[in-house]
Amino acid sequence: MKDGFMRYDRLDNFDVKPLDRINNYKGLHTPLDEDKRREQAARCMNCGVPFCQAGVMLNGMFAGCPLGNLCPEWNELIARGMWNEAADRLLLTSSFPEFTGRVCPALCEKACTNGLDGKAVTVRDNELSVIERAFETGYIKAVPPVERTGKRVAVIGSGPSGLACAQMLNRYGHTVTVYEREDRPGGLLMYGIPNMKLEKDIVLRRIHLLEEEGITFVCGTEIGRDIPADEILSGYDAAVLCCGSTVPRDIKAEGREADGIYFAVDFLKAATKSLMRTDISDGDYISAKYKNVIIIGGGDTGNDCAATCIRQGCRSVTQLEMMPKPPEQRTPNNPWPEWPKVLKTDYGQEESIAVFGRDPRVYQKTVRRFIADEDNKLRAVETVSLTFEHGRPEQIEGSEEIIPAELVLIAAGFVGAQENLTNAFGAKRTQRGSIATEAGHYRVNDGKLFTAGDAHRGQSLVVWAIKEGRDCAKEVNEYLSGNIS
């Protein structure tokens, strides 16, 4: 069917209503039934030039899927009810559709031709329906390699890049051991993304499948501390640093040492660990209950913090965003199929509007100082407005405002890989704090060390981490096969 885009309107997976979903940490969405999903897939036009899968740079921004997912092909197969065939086409390019189908901002949809009128094909929801049906029907099974090469590879870090790299190396027949410093594998997927956005049983399901395929996970082990880097390099034929960009950007303001200021990553990690241990009944987490919360940063992590704080019972939540408020519609200098620089109201902001009657985001604001009481307990934050008249942010004198706050969460991004780990391996770093390699490659030096993911490219999307992990594995395999000296 080639006229589905004229027959059917766009219909997204159903959202659980904000005031209902804030009572738990369950998933946010419920799927469409099979008939509706096939209709949504039939909306794909099977374009002559499918920008959704193109993966190209346009005006300094990436358009389409970085993985090159064959979206029109598996959309057609879904529309025909050929679900297993659709899964086969999807898995040709995508390692973990169950992750990207939940957390990816859907670069594919932003480049969809149907998006010219604002109603792109529901590519991400379609992707998720394919992989979940494949799991439910037992079509997804562990497939260990038929033969082993005898080569051993250590992957340091079990986030999306580490998992993708390990998966591909294992498929090449190499014996892979993944080292993770946390108590569970998954990295960002496990402890950086809240359960309501990515349920942890979904992550563990994939981990168990990778184990069945022959990959070994060693958790609670920090390389460079528990095991020397030299021991890794001498004991394996290759090693891959997939350790992420984990150094959070700090806020240098007066009163920073006050009690009640935390990095967002620590807040989210503690909340998820408590949820997995005891369904938060142990109280062993950074609590926002009855507190006025200020989140510094208006991005995805800040949104996740807002949603978590609301579930914990905060008194109020405010997100400070340095940049101006984005427009609600594309501007003339931001045409399709470029990534749309428009206002996005995510689930945490939706919940804040439902609970507190307002969007938590305040634009063109930054922190001037943190205010504590005589016991060094945080009590308020002094903010100041910003102007961008000369291109750079400048504080506007006289715009200071005191906002009550007993909890501040810094969600201002990350500034690179951990220096102690990179130093242990003798890896050079870029000015951004990432691990340096030759452009377009993943080999760190002339030896057996490689890198991928956020540690290599800087803070980015899960889909980019998966792309890097897959491409790095190919380069490692060429090295182990003797095709790279």
The alpha carbon dihedral of 480, 457, 145, 237 has a sign of positive
Phi-psi region of 138 (alpha: psi -120 to 50; beta: other; left: phi over 0): left
CATH of segment(s) 4-136:
1.10.1060.10
Extract the residue ranges of the chain whose pLDDT is less than 70.
1-2, 484-485
Strand order, beta sheet including 238-241: 216-218, 175-179, 152-156, 238-241, 449-451
Query: Per residue in 54-97, pLDDT tens?
Result: 888 888 888 899 999 999 999 999 999 999 999 999 999 999 99
Beta bridge partners of 407: 293
Domain 152-246+415-480 CATH assignment equals 3.50.50.60: yes
Peptide bond into 337 cis (omega under 30): yes
Would the CATH topology of 4-136 be identical to that of 261-410? no
Q: H/E element holding 39?
A: helix 34-42
Distance, in Å, from the CA atom of 67 to the CA atom of 54, rounded to the nearest integer, reads 9
The pLDDT score that the predictor gives to residue 390 is 83
pLDDT of residue 57: 84
- Reading the block at residue 426, the tokens are 């003798």
For the beta carbon of residue 436, count every other beta carbon within 10 angstroms.
16
Q: What is the pLDDT, as a whole number, of residue 165?
A: 98
**pLDDT value for 275:** 97
pLDDT given at position 62: 86
Amino acid at 62: F
Query: Domain boundaries in the chain?
Result: 4-136, 152-246+415-480, 261-410
* Superfamily of domain 261-410 in the CATH hierarchy: FAD/NAD(P)-binding domain (3.50.50.60)
Q: Going along 86-151, which residue ranges are E strands?
A: none
* Residue 430 φ then ψ, to 5°: -85, 175
- Tally of CB atoms within 10 A around 209: 16
Cβ-based neighbour number of residue 279 at 10 Å: 10
Extract the runs of DSSP E, i.e. beta strands, from 10-92: 14-15, 29-30, 56-58, 61-63
Of 350, 374, 183, 349, the C-alpha closest to 272 is: 183
Q: Residue 485's pLDDT is what?
A: 58
**pLDDT tens column, 464-475:** 999 999 999 999
CA distance 228 to 230: 5
Alpha carbon distance, N-terminus to C-terminus of the chain = 51
**C-beta separation of 451 from 442 below 8 A:** yes
- CA-based radius of gyration for the chain: 23
Apex CA 118: angle with CA 343 and CA 102, to 5°?
A: 65
Q: What is the pLDDT of residue 247?
A: 93
Question: Structure pTM?
Answer: 0.96
- DSSP output for 323-346: SPPPPSS--TTS-TTSPP------
**Residue 8 CB burial class (10 angstroms; 0-12, 13-18, ≥19):** middle
Give, in degrees to the nearest 5, the angle at Cα 287 between 286 and 292.
Answer: 120
The torsion angle over the Cα atoms of residues 341, 344, 348 and 353, rounded to 10 degrees, is: 140
Q: Which of 148-172 are b and which e, b meaning 16 or more Cβ less than 10 Å from the residue's Cβ? A: ebebbbbbbbbbbbbbbbbbbbbbb
Strands 394-395 and 378-387, sheet pairing = antiparallel
- The answer to whether the beta carbons of residues 256 and 422 sit under 8 Å apart is no
Give the separation between CA 359 and CA 309, rounded to whole angstroms.
14
pLDDT of residue 48: 85
Q: Rounded to 5 degrees, what angle do the CA atoms 325, 330, 334 make?
A: 105
d(CA 319, CA 306): 8
